[in-house]
Amino acid sequence: MQAPTTEVTPAPITPAHLAGMVSVVIPAFNAAAWIRETLDSILAQTYGPIEIVVVDDGSTDETATVIGEYAPRVRLVGQPNSGGCSSPRNHGLRAATGAFVTFFDADDVMVPDKIERQVAFLQAHPDVALVTSDYQPFDEHGPHARTHFAGCPRLQAALGSPRFDGTLAPEQATGILAHENYSIAGSPLYRRALFDAIEAFDEGLLASEDFDLAYRAARQGPTGVLTHVGFLRRLHADNMSRQTTKILRYKLKSRAKLLAGETRQPQRKLLTQAVATYHLDLAEQLGRDRGPWRDVVSHVTAAVRLGGMGPVRALKALVRPVANALGVARSPRS
């Protein structure tokens, strides 16, 4: 069963905004296997009031049927498949009525006090437009040993302690993000008013759209950071993050877009380094995939031009695709 397409006009300001309503927007595509656990974890939050808006992005499985079991506690809207998460998240944002908004994936699991902690932080810091939390990956074998922030040394250095909650100035937050993407879609809670100042998700990005939004939001003012684990991120075979070439293309596109609009010189330097690095990473991945050698050469050339690599690494990146193009047989590994 597929949810019908639902046209949504922008939500007006209502008493719910004044009452501290939190809107949880969930894009869902063929999520029937996971979404019950996701919805149950949100409905079990220690904070209220919460509204849940699920946008069925053209599912062909039983996603809409499962979501229908939760009516009226969960609102279902639908649209044709968009091929990414940006469009359904924007659709859900237009339907949302909360003073605060968080976006959550249909296969992840919220820790019971995630929203309560984040709302309390925003209420205590009126100059902060968003607050992000740590998360812990898990799979069929259970939780992973390390949380995401444990792999973000620059973030921890800025906070001063692995267990310190605080705020980052725009220069700090964007500078760290250029090196370490410490936030994914389910991490932040936003003030709804932020989206009066900036666009939400860029629908031209089919990956790295959450990084793009986090960076642009961080430009607007201080970013709150909670080292508390706010949710569990499910890892499975259908995760988009496993589509390596696609992910690298959009990491490159998102950083290049931000670089084009960045006026601060320190951030321009950091983003230039990131763009050069992703050109190289993509060249090496295309080489492994036996992709068009001209594309590999183009990415290597761009990386060198931006100062992202030395001549030795550039030559190494070219060896495999040139050999493939010439039909040189590779000896098997011993």
Helix (H, G, I), strand (E, B) or coil at 226: strand
Strands 100-103 and 22-28: parallel
Beta carbons within 8 Å of 61's beta carbon, 6+ residues apart: 30, 31, 32
Task: Report pLDDT for 330.
Answer: 47
Per DSSP, the residues of 90-131 read: HHHHHH---SEEEE--TT-EE-TTHHHHHHHHHHH-TT-SEE
Domains of the chain: 15-241 (3.90.550.10), 243-326 (no CATH)
User: Cα 171 from chain centroid?
Assistant: 20
Query: How many CB atoms within 10 Å of residue 273?
Result: 16
| Tens digits of pLDDT across the chain (334 residues) | 555 555 444 455 555 555 699 999 999 999 999 999 999 999 999 998 999 999 999 999 999 999 999 999 999 999 999 999 999 999 999 999 999 999 999 999 999 999 999 999 999 999 999 999 999 999 988 889 999 999 999 999 998 877 788 999 999 999 999 989 999 999 999 999 999 999 999 999 999 999 999 999 999 999 999 999 999 999 977 655 568 999 999 999 999 999 999 999 999 999 999 999 899 889 888 888 888 878 888 988 898 888 755 555 666 656 555 555 555 444 444 3
Task: Report pLDDT for 241.
Answer: 52
Spatial distance between the Cα atoms of 20 and 273, rounded to a whole number of angstroms: 41
Task: Report pLDDT for 331.
Answer: 42
Beta carbons within 8 Å of 177's beta carbon, 6+ residues apart: 183, 211, 214, 215, 218
Task: Report pLDDT for 326.
Answer: 52
Q: What is the pTM of this model?
A: 0.86
Task: Report pLDDT for 315.
Answer: 62
Buried b (16+ CB within 10 A) or exposed e, 206-222: bbbbbbbbbbbbbbebb
Residue 149 per-residue DSSP state: G
